[in-house]
Chains A and B, each alone.
Chain A
Amino acid sequence: MSLGEQIRSLRRKLFGDPARAFGSISLVLLGMLAIAPAKNYFSEWGHYQKGYLKLIRSRADALTLARHFSPGFQQIWLPEMDVVDRCTTCHVALKEPSLSDVSRQPYRPHSPIPHSLTQFGCVVCHRGQGRATTVQEAHNSTKAWEHPMLPSRYLESSCGQCHLGPLLGTPQLNLGRQLIAGYGCVRCHTVMQPDGTRMMASDDPPSLQHIAEKTTRQWIYAWIKNPQAYAASVTMPNFQLSDHDARDISAFLMAQSTPLAAIHNQPAAKGASASPDATAGASLYGESFCASCHAVQNAAGVLVGGDLGPELTRIGSKVKPEWLEAWLRNPSVYDPNTKMPHYRFDPKQIATLAGYLEAKTDSDLLANVHLSEATPDQIQHGKLLVMEDGCTSCHEVNGIKKPENFAPDLSRVGSRSLAVLAFPEGVPHTLPDYIEAKVRNPRAFGPGLKMPQYTFSEQQRSAITTALLSLTDRAQTQPPALRTAAVHESNYQPAGKAGRLMADLRCFSCHAINGRGGDMAPDLSWEGSSVQRPWLVEFLRNPETLRPALIRRMPRFNLTPDEINTLTDYIMIVYQTPAVDRDSLPASSFTPDMVEKGRQLFYSKYACQSCHIVDPNKDKGYIGPALWAVGSRLNAAWVYAYLKNPPAMRPGTLEPDQHLSDAEARSLTAFLMAQKSAKQAGKK
């Protein structure tokens, strides 16, 4: 029989009449119906589980691992958090530290974290689709799931969903939040934090209501054209204004400015400013520790100084001399909210310092700025621009209110749906990439957009993206019990004469007291318990640094003895901790034996000299405060309590808790209290 005939006969056999056709096709149909169940058997997750069993077979602890393993779907179900995570179906060895040498996924064990793996599941931190049981659907973005796995460089953002304050382990998140507050992002964008509070800006954009007193129209023009040309460290972004727009805005800002009589009322120091002595100015700048807050670019182009106040490299090109003198006399006259303290400079000092600062000019800055007299049209157009560009979101301007909801609300930006985002060319279609691209170059997203150009480094951009990604739906909707609140600044305000003095000196710019204030200098909440009065009086008269390694120091405010007394009395009486009784360890309770025992403990048992200096000739510890005069500085009872439990007395201190016995602590205290001065230490 030929092949053709065979086929024909077969066809007759199978489909020859309806009954045969019915039978044959029924068999085909049954076969087809069996395919779907068969596919279950060859599932991806099944493949990985089989692979795991093969992997552990050859290992020493195979039996233990096999006992921990359970086949089939695995699931972490947390209904109150809306978590159904089946990741552990494939990632079977997350809790097997003995497999730490395995780098192949999905068998790698999880690195140690402060949370139990079953407490939050996986997607709360990593995102991705927890319900999925295929590689593609679980990790990637699909039509039915917009939030793929978070790239590991943004992973810290997940911590920020619950931890609203800074954490030791999340430097990037902390930095991002600082930048968002410090660059005033939240002045235009509303960010409601999950605890219901609004994220506040920490920058200090100046009021422009009296701007004409301070600077010239030429400088304003140059500044708003490119703030970074004036000083690289400034936080004001570049609005990429055209020459015309900058001309009109500068015209309007000068026109709206009102005079401030108080600036002109003070008598200037006649004659003193005639020949400013550069050397005297530089040394006064140094003595007053201006560099603790202000930075200046040195010859090598490196910024030297603090960042609490504005950079002063080209200050002479910016401010008017009479304004500068009035400012140095008392900054709060021009800006009642400034962080700068009121130095008690005498007129000669003011003239010297002002002369020194005015010399800091940059002839190139305003060389090309030629502005003719402003016309009313220009001023009117400038006002329009100031309103449109949202300048008043940050700066106070006469006649224009702060706009509400000027920029999109970012409270849930970390969960924003990709469907509502317009991606420019070349930006990958993921939320982190979108945010990063937006922070890098906001104007690339469309011609009419108002967000200005910032000059962030790569690292800063990643940090900001991380912080923004932490603002998720989950963070807003999860049970409040899961939230770890941020510490909000208190509104503590000391009262009375001392309180007014502290406000005038802007103590809170650097020191924190009772939950309010800066972190540049030590917390003074318990200062009265810890120091001796004579030392404090001397310190306020002529501050010196306590830590050899620190550059920043407390400035000298030229206080009168009266003012020093007021401050000292207030600090000694009010800033006490109930944990320390100042009089519980009088000098008489220390014996020479104890001092000797303490010396041994200091140098031998605990090797304190590796961080502290008691004998300046011998010890080399530069990390902790110098202790050669600690006996005349600190209170014995405080020292004892501090040695017993350092973190309790100064949260965040580097001082280790050595778990000293009472006797040891007492001996060490006796030894330390015997250190009255460097000379004394040298003699012994």
Chain B
Amino acid sequence: MARSLTTYLDDLRDSRVWRSIFRSGPGQSNLHRALVVQSNVFLHLFSVKARKRVLDFSVTWYLGALTFGAFLILVITGVLLMLYYHPSVPLAYSDMKDLEFVVSSGVFLRNLHRWSAHAMVLLVFAHLAKVFYRGAYRPPREFNWVIGVVLLLLTLFLSYTGYLLPWDQLAFWAVTVGSNIASAVPLLGHHIRFLMLGGNLVNANALLRFYVLHCMILPLAAILFIAIHFWRIRKDGGLYAGAPTTTAEKEAER
């Protein structure tokens, strides 16, 4: 049975339509496997081979992958939530109620989005600490570390802008407190807050601004930097597996 299933799958992979989409076609050879990676616009960001050592859990704790996983969950649930949300006062809050009481699985969607957001922030911090303690920021990977810091900031801003969207007391005052911190910047503080909120107070303008930031600008920026982050892994010599062991690496580290 399993055998025949594999055969069917191979037949499918060998079909004209499949091959027009995925150039690699069926096959188990290393060439084929390399082609799968190389001929895919998303996967080609990665190198076709990786050191065996990096597969060990203790090396990375898979924290980067998990962070990306949380991001994927957030994108999917976020897009679904956008279908039920109006970024206006007080509709935003009644949309929360509708999500809770009449949208099928609405509570689940919101919960998953919320908890995944917290998880992503936590994972990003953990990723940063792990990378630091393993020394994976060392040349030639120093610029990828900087991109990582940018991604950390983007994650925080994404979470912070999303915090306002339910327009409940929790959201309103958390953002008020946050924006007051921004206004402490010398000279420019109030201008920064004005720019941030689209006004002097947290109101409907701020909600709209945060909505656009949360759903358009920041996710696009995050996707861009994630792509660069992944691509740089390949360009900087693959996943860092520990102390350099090859000549090439030793040369690079010198």
Touching chains A and B, CB distance < 8 Å:
yes
Interface residues, chain A, CB within 8 Å of chain B? 36-37, 39-40, 73, 84, 86, 129, 131-134, 137, 144
List the B residue with the shortest CB-CB distance to A133. B101
A sample of 17 cross-chain residue pairs with beta-carbon separation below 8 angstroms, ordered by A number, consists of A36-B105, A36-B108, A39-B105, A39-B108, A40-B104, A73-B102, A84-B94, A86-B101, A86-B102, A129-B97, A131-B94, A131-B98, A131-B101, A132-B97, A132-B101, A133-B101, A137-B101
Within 8 A of A (CB), among B84-108: 94, 97-98, 100-102, 104-105, 108
Q: Chain A residues with Cβ under 8 A from B236's Cβ?
A: none
Q: With the chains together, A131 CA to B104 CA distance in Å?
A: 15
Q: Which 4 A-B pairs have the closest CB atoms?
A: A36-B108, A36-B105, A133-B101, A131-B97
| A287–B136 alpha-carbon span in the complex (Å) | 109
- Contact count A vs B, C-beta below 8 Å: 27
B14 an interface residue at 8 Å Cβ cutoff?
Answer: no
Question: Which residues of B have CB within 8 Å of A86?
Answer: 101-102
Q: How far is the CB of A145 from chain B (nearest CB, A)?
A: 9
A134 lies within 8 A of B101 (CB): yes
Which B residues contact A (CB, under 8 angstroms)?
A: 94, 97-98, 100-102, 104-105, 108, 168
Chain A CB within 10 A, most for which of B101, B102, B105, B108: B101
Contact B105 A40 (CB under 8 A): yes
CA distance A223 to B94 in the complex (A): 55
User: Chain A's nearest CB lies how many Å from the CB of B84?
Assistant: 14
A73 proximity list for chain B (CB < 8 A):
102
Query: How far in angstroms is the closest Cβ of chain A from B56?
Result: 14
Chain B residues with Cβ below 8 Å from A132 are: 97, 100-101
* Chain A residue at smallest Cβ distance from B112: A36
B100 proximity list for chain A (CB < 8 A): 132, 137
Q: How far is the CA of A172 from the CA of B39 in the complex (A)?
A: 80
Question: Chain B's nearest CB lies how many Å from the CB of A108?
Answer: 22
Residues of chain A lying within 8 A (CB to CB) of residue B104: 37, 40
Closest chain B residue to A144, Cβ basis: B168
For A18, give the chain B residue with the smallest CB separation.
Answer: B55
Residues of A within 8 A of B97 (CB): 129, 131-132, 144
Given contacts A129-B97, A132-B100, 7 further A-B contacts (CB under 8 A): A37-B104, A40-B105, A84-B94, A86-B102, A131-B94, A131-B98, A137-B100
Give the shortest distance, in Å, between B37 (CB) and chain A (any CB).
16
Residue on A with the closest CB to B170?
A143
- B-side contacts of A37, CB under 8 Å: 104-105
Distance, CA A155 to CA B244, complexed state (A): 78
Residues of A near B101 (CB, < 8 A) are 86, 131-134, 137
Chain A contacts of B98 at CB under 8 A?
Answer: 131
Interface centre among A37, A39, A131, A137 (most CB of B within 10 A): A131
Residue of A nearest to B96 (CB): A144
Smallest beta-carbon distance B94→chain A, Å: 7
CB of A176 to closest CB in B, whole Å: 31
Q: A84 to chain B: which residues have CB within 8 Å?
A: 94
- The answer for the CA separation of A133 and B94 in the assembled complex, in Å, is 14
Considering the complex, give the chain B residue whose CB is closest to the CB of A145: B97
Chain A positions within 8 Å of B105 at CB level: 36-37, 39-40
Given contacts A84-B94, A144-B168, contact A133 B108 (CB under 8 A): no
Q: Given the complex of chains A and B, what is the CA–CA distance between A37 and B103 in angstroms? A: 11
Write the nearest CB–CB distance from B78 to chain A, whole angstroms.
16
Rounded to whole Å, the gap between the CB of A555 and the closest CB of chain B is 60
B73 vs chain A, min Cβ distance (A): 11
Q: Nearest B residue to A45 by beta-carbon distance?
A: B101
